[in-house]
Amino acid sequence: MPLDFAICPRSETLRSLLQSKIDQKTKPLGSLGQLESLALQIGLCQDTLTPALNKPCIIIFAGDHGIVEAGVSAYPQTVTAQMVANFLSGGAAISVFARQNKLELLIADAGVNADLEGHPRLIDAKIGKGTKNFLTSPAMTAGDCIKALQAGADLVLQQHNNGCNCIGFGEMGIGNTSSAAMLMHCLTGVPLVECIGRGAGLNDDQLQNKVNLLQQALNRHKDIIEPLDVLATFGGFEIAMLAGAYFKAAELKMLIMVDGFIASSALLVAFKLYPQVLGFCIFSHVSGEQGHQALLEYFNAKPLLNLDLRLGEGSGIALAYPLLQSAVVFLNEMATFAEAGVDR
């Protein structure tokens, strides 16, 4: 399946100047800890000594999964559409946190198995009413996978054209931790059982059933190894759109805020095809979902928060965003020793 994104590595030309600017602030060297690393990364991503966060936005991609019919989730598939309605009405966790931190929130219907009512913040990007059950066939066709990737990229381009330079991606889709676990195993080699977690709240028996079902699916599709083939075989429309969104955001040199396990599994697909994507990514948190810690280690990533979150929706992004604001404001506004007349 062809892809054509021109993703260049993050610029490193200002690294020494940015580090010097950070070190000259009125504080002991390194005393702002990870916030200093964050300020450096944001400056490098934007290739400037005076970075800014313009029109920050979170897009939630929503889609349903055929594997749910096999019994991998504690919740019925109807919850996906119900939660989309909750996002739009402003009652979900991400709605509250985005509102708190003045983040624009958009919801993209990537493949919800329902006809959704129109709403100013709902984007109709539906590829189909859910994927197929990957226990018996590939989740989507190669053509639909490409359509989803391109749709995600197009949505990011729209936000960039509106002046956004800082973007994050959430997801909603009952059953999508199963897809994420399959992507993680196939693309990293981490044992499948270590990639599978409780999702939305499986008990021990349900978790073992999920493990058994995903092992069966792996046995059926064991020869699938190429990243886009793995995505088409096991992914969801919302995960594919996430991957396309990462491609385009990195191509446009936007600051990318990464959420939890499912969002990171989509990033894994993007990373396998364009490793330079990672240079533009800020990892908001480490999830309580089994597998996410190992996936972050695979990326050699240091998350900003560890709150045992496992909600998805982009909730970790919204909670971590104020740290990005603090990193930018100290870099731009904090006095230097010379300015403040303080001895070093």
Task: Examine the residue annotation and report whether 289 is marked as an active-site residue of this protein.
Answer: no
Instruction: Name, in order, each residue with C-beta under 8 angstroms of 320's C-beta and a sequence gap of 6 or more.
Output: 257, 282, 284, 285, 304, 305
- 119 by DSSP, 3-state: which? coil
For residue 300, give every residue at least 6 positions away whose Cβ sits within 8 Å of its Cβ, in sequence order, or none. none
* Cα separation, 314 vs 317, whole angstroms: 5
Task: Say if CB 18 and CB 36 are below 8 A apart.
Answer: no
Query: In Å, what is the CA distance from 41 to each residue of 14, 16, 17, 45, 328?
Result: 11, 12, 13, 6, 10
Is 187 strand, coil or helix? Answer: helix
Q: Which of 194, 226, 313, 339 is catalytic?
A: 313
Cβ neighbours of residue 276 under 8 Å, at least 6 residues apart? 7, 8, 9, 10, 250
CB atoms near residue 256 (< 10 Å): 26
Cβ-based burial of 190 (10 A; exposed 0-12, middle 13-18, buried ≥19) = middle
Cα 149 versus chain centre, distance:
14
CA 116 centroid distance within chain:
24
What does DSSP say about strands 122-124 and 104-111: parallel, antiparallel, or unpaired? parallel
Which residues neighbour 27 within 8 Å (Cβ) at sequence distance 6 or greater? 334
Cα radius of gyration rounded to whole Å, the chain: 20
Contacts of 28 (CB under 8 A, 6+ apart): none
Q: Quick check: helix, strand or coil at residue 256? A: strand
Question: Which active-site residues does the annotation give?
Answer: 313
